[in-house]
């Protein structure tokens, strides 16, 4: 009898241990968990890409040069890129993946796109952004003619346009970007923040791009390397000063060597 009881007791101990081992997640479960934790869902990104293509298909494209030639604050080398705004606790240079593009309403004559970025890596600055999802307003996108043209009386029929900024074109959904950012301060009451709030930007996750006409790199899904965003416009006259163009190319090469894995 004692032997039987001892056998049953041992069996009860062994069974729970076996159950725990059997409940160990499979590789597929681990992958699902990883997706949920990171927010980087490839299936959702693919669906978002199809939805954006459907929205923009057939729209007339307008190419706009909405930037001045101001070079103040531009990073011409790696040291400046990493350290230039180090005194700003909300400054960051990040490498991220474009998860979604959504049209939004901006000020009269200004097209904006609500861009969702998953931060793959914080290159410099605010480390808490690593592996987080952020929202960034990028110039360009879908806008109606009556909102785009300051003199709406010149347009007989209201229609949507697809605006691309020549020096900072929109990336494709699924692309990787390297971009300088600073946090949007919603405590400042201004018209631009009002547009962000109406587009349901999160007060905690919203970041503003910095000098994206020069310090902004895109690696579209079919591309092998990051390139300066301003070089993606087919007929763009690139930075005219030869020495500055060489500086930007050297910085681009360094970023690819270090972060294009």
Give the pLDDT confidence of 93-129 residue by residue, as tens digits. Answer: 999 999 999 999 998 889 999 999 999 999 999 999 9
Q: pLDDT at residue 155 above 70?
A: no
Asked if residues 106 and 112 have their Cβ atoms less than 8 Å apart, the reply is yes
pLDDT value of position 241: 57
The pLDDT value given to residue 68: 61
Q: Which of 32-36, 108-112, 209-213 has the lowest mean pLDDT?
A: 32-36
Pick the closest to residue 143 from 109, 114, 171 (CA basis): 109
| Sequence ranges of the domains in the chain | 42-260
Mean pLDDT of 173-189: 95
Q: Are 96 and 177 in contact (CB under 8 A)?
A: yes
Chain-wide mean pLDDT for the chain?
Answer: 81
> Per the confidence metrics, is the pTM higher than 0.85?
no
């Amino acid at each position: 009898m004692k032997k039987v009881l001892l056998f049953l007791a041992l069996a009860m101990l062994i069974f729970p241990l076996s159950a725990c081992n059997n409940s160990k997640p499979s590789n597929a479960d681990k992958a699902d968990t990883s997706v949920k934790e990171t927010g980087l869902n490839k299936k959702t990104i693919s669906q978002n890409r199809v939805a954006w293509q459907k929205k923009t298909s057939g729209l007339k494209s307008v190419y706009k040069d909405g930037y001045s030639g101001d070079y103040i604050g531009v990073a011409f080398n790696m040291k400046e890129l990493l350290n230039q705004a180090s005194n700003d606790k909300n400054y960051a240079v990040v490498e991220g993946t474009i998860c979604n593009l959504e049209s939004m309403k901006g000020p009269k004559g200004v097209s904006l796109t609500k861009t969702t970025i998953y931060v793959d890596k914080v290159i410099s600055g605010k480390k808490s952004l690593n592996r987080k999802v952020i929202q960034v307003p990028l110039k360009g996108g879908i806008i109606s003619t009556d909102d785009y043209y300051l003199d709406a009386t010149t347009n007989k029929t209201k229609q949507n346009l697809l605006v691309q900024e020549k020096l900072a074109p929109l990336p494709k959904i699924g692309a990787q970007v390297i971009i300088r950012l600073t946090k949007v301060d919603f405590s400042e009451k201004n018209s631009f923040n009002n547009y962000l709030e109406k587009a349901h930007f999160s007060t905690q996750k919203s970041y503003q791009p910095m000098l994206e006409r020069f310090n902004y790199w895109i690696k579209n899904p079919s591309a092998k390397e990051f390139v300066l965003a301003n070089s993606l416009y087919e007929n763009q006259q690139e930075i005219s000063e030869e020495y500055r163009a060489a500086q930007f190319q050297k910085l681009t090469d360094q970023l690819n060597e270090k972060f294009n894995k």
